[in-house]
Amino acid sequence: MAEVLIQNGRVVDPSQNLDGQADIYIKDGVIQAVEPEISVSCGNIIDATGLVVLPGLVDMHVHLRDPGLTYKEDIFTGCDAAAAGGVTSVACMPNTNPVTDSPETLTYIRTKAATAHAKVYPVASITAGMKGEALNDFTALKQAGAIAVSDDGRPVENGRRMMEGMQKAYHAGLPVISHCEDLSIIRGGIINEGEISKKLGVPGMHRASEDSVTAREIALAHATGTRIHIAHVSTEGSAALVRDAKARGVQVTCETCPHYFMLTEEELLRRDADYRMNPPLRTEADRKAMLAAVLDGTVDCIVTDHAPHALEEKADFLKAPNGVVGLETSLAASLTSLYHTGLVSLSRLVELMSTNPARILGLNAGTLRPGAPGDVAIVDLNLTWTVEPEKLHSKSHNTVFKGKTFTGKAVATLLDGKLVYHYQG
Ligand code: DOR
Ligand code: ZN
């Protein structure tokens, strides 16, 4: 299948200010033309009548668990889940085993990912073994294929070390992504600290943990003239800090996940560990604040923080590890809660889920311009479906959206012009 013609779809691509009916011709994996009507003789036609055609989504916060934790997920299953969600590029976090802190591990990931159904861009750790001590050799890691650095899953606790890390990464030309958490404030908490944690009698994670480190990272980026990307923002306070920092010209960007603008800590009343993640679901005021931050441009990207954990691990509400899967539901959840409610245009949604993350990470993705890779998501905006965890492509089923009915779904996903996912109903 060296060529493909996608006909009669509504193409939405904010990178070229495009929202209208067009055909797309892809040859040898590369987009050749996007025109109102393309007449070429092509043996491979996809009829996208009634569907929308988007640049493949870019999820810049994913845990693929490979190497080392492949009972939860591996590169192939994680990428299958991505393809089923219209996601063609993922940035994978370094809390693997071993930690992604060496050229060897980066090479392992990139080699295995070469035949997977999504493009995998590894994030290397900031510190050796994610121990928060020695800084890695960012230039060597970049050469081996790292596209950003982060100790995600943990904060870099020492402020001086983070400051030096940000400067070193800046000189190496790598973005820094920060997981904002103060472990001394968290003290073993497992859900948001507040009414619900009290009611359940479980230790809480105080919002000041997230907010104080977000403030620190902004101060460090400002002081050093470097840039910082704040991961999984969940609180009203952190969103306000990012908004204010942007207004002051600090080079800060941030992301949030669908669960933070759709759900609240009330879900935890079920005592089901599938609703536990870090940072945790917060209050209704936070949910509303995150939604407002998505709407006013404070939030740059919608990501999943796709964090698969095995059924046995999630069985015990108190002891289960934090994290939820999300690759297969992020587009549907966002279409349902942001687009079908009239809050966000399709074009803005594509910015949040494709254009912006590609720009922040400097990836050759997030656009359908001629010359770009043929990474495409074909979406039925009106397809209604219910999330059945056991039907997900991921090895793990820890989704907060189990049983939820969404409107909108990727029905076909192309990677370099090749069909990697086709909705079967
Ligand atoms: O919920 C989370 N799970 N948050 C993190 O920061 C790490 C992630 C994981 O690796 O499971
Ligand atoms: Zn994190």
Residue 342 zone, left/alpha/beta (φ > 0; ψ -120 to 50; rest): left
- Please give the distance, rounded to the nearest whole angstrom, from the Cα atom of residue 49 to the centre of ligand 1: 39
Ligand number nearest to the C-alpha of 63: 1
pLDDT, position 399: 98
Task: Answer yes or no: are the C-beta atoms of 40 and 5 closer than 8 Å.
Answer: yes
Ligand number nearest to the C-alpha of 150: 2
Q: Which of 277, 282, 306 to mutate to test the pocket of ligand 1 (most atoms within 8 A of CB)?
A: 277
pLDDT, position 1: 55
Q: Which residues line ligand 1 (CB under 6 A)?
A: 63, 95, 152-153, 179, 277-278, 305, 307, 321-323
pLDDT, position 253: 99
Locus of tokens 């691509």: 13
Give me the amino acid identity at 389.
Answer: P
Per-residue pLDDT tens over the stretch 210-222: 999 999 999 999 9
Locate 361 and state its tokens: 């990470």
Per-residue CA distances from 290 to 279, 282, 285, 286, 367 (Å): 13, 10, 9, 6, 26
- Please give the distance, rounded to the nearest whole angstrom, from the Cα atom of residue 323 to the centre of ligand 1: 5
For the question of residue 151 being annotated catalytic, the response is no
pLDDT, position 425: 84
Which protein residues have their CB within 5 A of the ion that is ligand 2? 152, 179, 231
- For 137, residues 6+ apart whose C-beta sits below 8 A from its C-beta are none
Nearest CA to ligand 1 atom 2: 323
Residues of the chain with pLDDT under 70: 1
Locus of tokens 């966002």: 334
- For 10, residues 6+ apart whose C-beta sits below 8 A from its C-beta are 19, 20, 21, 51, 52, 53
Per-residue pLDDT tens over the stretch 282-309: 999 999 999 999 999 999 999 999 999 9
